[in-house]
Amino acid sequence: MLGPPEPMSYAAELSEALVSEFEQAIVELDKLLLTIVSAGSSLPDGRSREHLTQGAGRRMGIIRHCLRTVFLKFPPSLSAPLSREDLYDVQIAHHAFVVNLYGYFENLAWSFISRHNLESKIGGKKKIGLFLKSTQTFLPEPIKAYLSSPTITKWHSDYLKNYRDALAHRIPLYIPPSVLTKDEVIHAQTLQEQERNAILERRWELLDDLREQQLALGKPCLFFAHSFDDNEDPRPIYLHPQIICDVKTVLDFTPIYLRHWHGRA
């Protein structure tokens, strides 16, 4: 549980806009998946084709499903905290979303490098990545310009790589179960003390009731973070707007990539 950041809920207009963006994103992801599979299928068998169809293509399907899971299990208009099971489902979907979003761009990098047989020229596998200068040196200008723009560079370095690395190697991304007011924090502490006593006294029916009361306190938390350590830059990020932004980045970039990846610098 967190003390209350502001706001504790989305404005009605923003909530409606997020749902509209979500519905449109699902439609656009379906279209783009077909485009990716078609582009990959036109290639001869080999690593480039596999990374585009079996790599980027599979990941896009997972990204779509994760986006849908988050919005259906945790609609932006929700006013009561999620159940424990639903919260786990949303966090699992969010984890898979971030990992596959990161991997999606990696697959596009591998497909490009393999298509142009550049692996030895850039210095091996560890030098492959759309956001690495070693790879960007060979990218066509429209692709490179998009990836090296200040907005996308910051999005990748401050957010995507930071949060994916934390998830994979350090502290997993976390959506707190609720946001509490000061009075609710005091009430929660009282319930926790009663819970400890119920365990000592083996009053299992009372224990279940006390836990349900705790889960019902507060409002849903709209934020996610990874670490609470100040050294890890643990700034919270709004969940729904961020994943919509992430999907829009995929939808914006992929057509540019597919229009120009046949060439190289």
SS3 per-residue string spanning 152-218: HHHHHHHHHHHHHHHHHHCCCCECCCCECCHHHHHHHHHHHHHHHHHHHCCCHHHHHHHHHHHHCCC
- How much is the pLDDT for 4? 42
Average pLDDT over residues 66-86: 94
Same domain, 51 and 121: yes
Is 72 inside any structural domain? yes
212 inside domain: yes
Q: Specify burial of residue 2 (Cβ count, 10 A radius: 0-12, 13-18, 19+).
A: middle
Tell me: do 187 and 175 sit in the same domain: no
Q: Same domain, yes or no, for 152 and 197?
A: no
The residue among 68 and 218 whose pLDDT is bigger is 68
101 found inside a domain: yes
Same domain, 159 and 31: yes
Is residue 119 domain-shared with residue 209, that is, in the same domain?
Answer: no
CA of residue 174 relative to chain centroid, distance: 11
Say if 2 falls within a structural domain. Answer: no
Q: Are residues 69 and 106 in the same domain?
A: yes
Count the neighbouring beta carbons within 10 Å of the beta carbon of residue 263: 13
| Residue 190 domain flag | yes
Is residue 4 in some structural domain?
Answer: no
pLDDT for position 229: 72
Region 57-63 average pLDDT:
97
pLDDT, mean over the chain: 92
pLDDT given at position 162? 92
Q: Do 124 and 169 belong together in one domain?
A: yes
Percent of the chain with pLDDT over 90: 75
81 in a structural domain: yes
Are 165 and 192 part of one and the same domain?
Answer: no
- pLDDT tens-digit series, residues 198-255: 898 888 889 888 988 887 888 899 999 988 775 666 678 999 999 999 999 999 999 9
Residues 188 and 102 grouped into a single domain: no
Percent of the chain with pLDDT over 70: 95
Give the closest residue to 240 by CA, choosing from 27, 77, 131.
Answer: 77
Burial pattern 220-249, b for ≥16 Cβ within 10 A else e, equals: bbbbbbbeeeeeeeeebbbbbbbbbebbeb
pLDDT confidence of 164, banded at 50, 70, 90? very high
Number of domains in the chain: 2
Which strand (E) or helix (H) includes residue 101? helix 84-115
Q: With bands split at pLDDT 50, 70 and 90, how would you rate the model's confidence at 1?
A: very low
- Within this chain, do residues 171 and 206 fall inside the same structural domain, yes or no? no
State the burial class of residue 254 (Cβ atoms within 10 Å of its Cβ: 0-12, 13-18, 19+): buried
71 with 187, same domain: the answer is: no
CA distance 42 to 40: 5
- Single pTM value for the model: 0.89
Model confidence at 56: pLDDT above 80:
yes
| Residue 51 and residue 125 share a domain | yes
**Which structural domain range is residue 137 located in?**
12-179+225-260
Residue-wise pLDDT tens digits, 77-92: 999 899 889 999 999 9
Asked if the structure places residue 5 within a domain, the reply is no
pLDDT in tens, 102-157: 999 999 999 999 999 999 999 999 999 999 999 999 999 999 999 999 999 999 99
Structure tokens at 111: 């497909």
